[in-house]
Amino acid sequence: MDLRYGINPQNTRAHVEPLHPGADLPLRLLQGQPSYINLLDALNSWQLVSEAAALLGRPAAASFKHVSPAGAALAGPVDATAAALYGVDPATVGPLTAAYLRARDADPKSSYGDFAAVSHEVDLELADLLARVVSDGIVAPGYAPGVLDVLARKKNGRFLVLAADPGFVPPATEAREVHGLRLVQDRDPHPPTAGLLADVRVGTLTESACTDLLLGLTVLRYTQSNSVCYLRDGMALGIGAGQQSRVDCTRLAGAKADTWWLRRHPAVRALDFRPEVRRQDRINWQIRHLEGDLTPDERTRLAAALHGGAPAPLDPAARAAWLSRRTGLSYVSDGCLPFRDNVDHAARHGVTAIAEPGGSLRSAEVEAACAEHGIALVHTGRRLFHH
């Protein structure tokens, strides 16, 4: 299959081929012409959602950007904020659409132009939603009758549609060529299982925390390292990917989880946008309003986007009071926590359960910090670096 281009448009010649002539393929192209990055997103996101659904017994979805998930979620309730933003009825929305909405709403600024992945056959309800959001493509195991007709109208037929083969068995080894060298390694054949949560070092894990931690372990298996994620109610609310410092990753992902919660504040939901302001612009303005460091030009444009001008930002006391109402988050790290500062920052964001490999020189300090903050801690013994 010829690709549109490689990683960048100047990589003009790019194609994909099976490892061996006549070998089975993990994906079939149904519509569009993918780029190199589109295929990387599709292959990683499909593995994430298929493993999550198999492990946790619920439909799963992911919203991918640049080979890492911006959000991932299991089917579950769609709250009023997300329902209003995307124009769905939370009482009747189907489980697969709910999973994708919950995944996309985790970090909706980053999910602009995403690659979507779902674990089950795409139905007309999800196709209708995809037709209304800015997205580059989707990978799924199948498509219900009429769905391809709906998706064919998106982006003048350039919207990518890929069908994944759920029965595909990947080779035992994988390789990458870099600067004249071919790097070969065994493929990790062990997706997360409930057994990884057996070694509880501090406190006890609730059933909901176990679900979130297992989802988080699956998410990080396909997220660029260093990576951590914060989760709640079957949703990855803050994912930090590709940071050289783990504590920077912890702080970045925590800020995203805070933003998700603050978008539910009545003052933010009450922002009265003019009808011509697009959905994505409303999302971006909500987030910039919460961040509070608007440039003069942004203040002018936000005022123009709202009836009655721009309100004052939330004051620190109001932010702190609202954030204090959020608790019960879980936190997963793809590598061992080297210092207790990761725990201290996680506690600031409402975390009550942590899963990490363990084995750090300072693991005793990390355990002490968890006990101090009332956070349950489990050692998985499993590093999940992904590059």
Residue 72 lies in a domain: yes
How far is residue 104's CA from residue 85's CA, in Å, rounded to a whole number?
11
Q: How far is CA 232 from CA 211, 244, 296, in A?
A: 9, 25, 36
Catalytic member of 38, 44, 65, 289: 65
Catalytic member of 15, 20, 179, 387: 387
DSSP SS3 for 268: helix
Boundaries of domain holding 305: 267-313
Same domain, 277 and 334: no
Radius of gyration of the chain (CA): 21
Assess whether 226 carries a catalytic annotation.
yes
Assess whether 349 carries a catalytic annotation.
no
284: closest CA among 115, 102, 133, 110?
Answer: 110
Tokens at 127, concatenated: 């196709």
Q: Name 137's Cβ contacts closer than 8 Å, sequence gap at least 6.
A: 32, 34, 38, 41, 42, 115, 116, 159, 160, 161, 162
What tens-digit pLDDT sequence spans the chain (387 residues)?
A: 889 999 999 998 899 888 888 888 899 999 999 999 999 999 999 999 999 999 999 999 999 999 999 999 999 999 999 999 999 999 999 999 999 999 999 999 999 999 999 999 999 999 999 999 999 999 999 999 999 999 999 988 899 999 999 999 999 999 999 999 999 999 998 999 999 999 999 999 999 999 999 999 999 999 999 999 999 999 999 999 999 999 999 999 999 999 999 999 999 999 999 999 999 999 999 999 999 899 999 999 999 999 988 888 888 999 999 999 989 999 999 999 999 999 999 999 999 999 999 999 999 999 999 999 999 999 999 999 999
DSSP one-letter string for 33-68: ---HHHHHHHHHHHHHHHHHHHHHSS-EEEEEETTE
Assign residue 244 a region (left: φ > 0; alpha: ψ between -120 and 50; beta: otherwise). alpha
Say how many C-beta atoms besides its own lie within 10 A of residue 15's C-beta: 9
pTM of the model: 0.96
Q: What are phi and psi of 260, to 5 degrees?
A: -55, -45
Tokens at 123, concatenated: 């139905």
Catalytic member of 226, 256, 342, 373: 226
Same domain, 133 and 210: no
Residue 241 lies in a domain: yes
Residue 364 lies in a domain: yes
Assess whether 66 carries a catalytic annotation.
yes
Same domain, 226 and 369: yes
287: closest CA among 242, 238, 241?
Answer: 238
Same domain, 292 and 254: no
Residue 351 lies in a domain: yes
Say how many C-beta atoms besides its own lie within 10 A of residue 72's C-beta: 33
The total number of structural domains that make up the chain: 3
Instruction: Return the residue matching tokens 């124009």.
Output: 87
Q: Name 125's Cβ contacts closer than 8 Å, sequence gap at least 6.
A: 93, 94, 96, 97
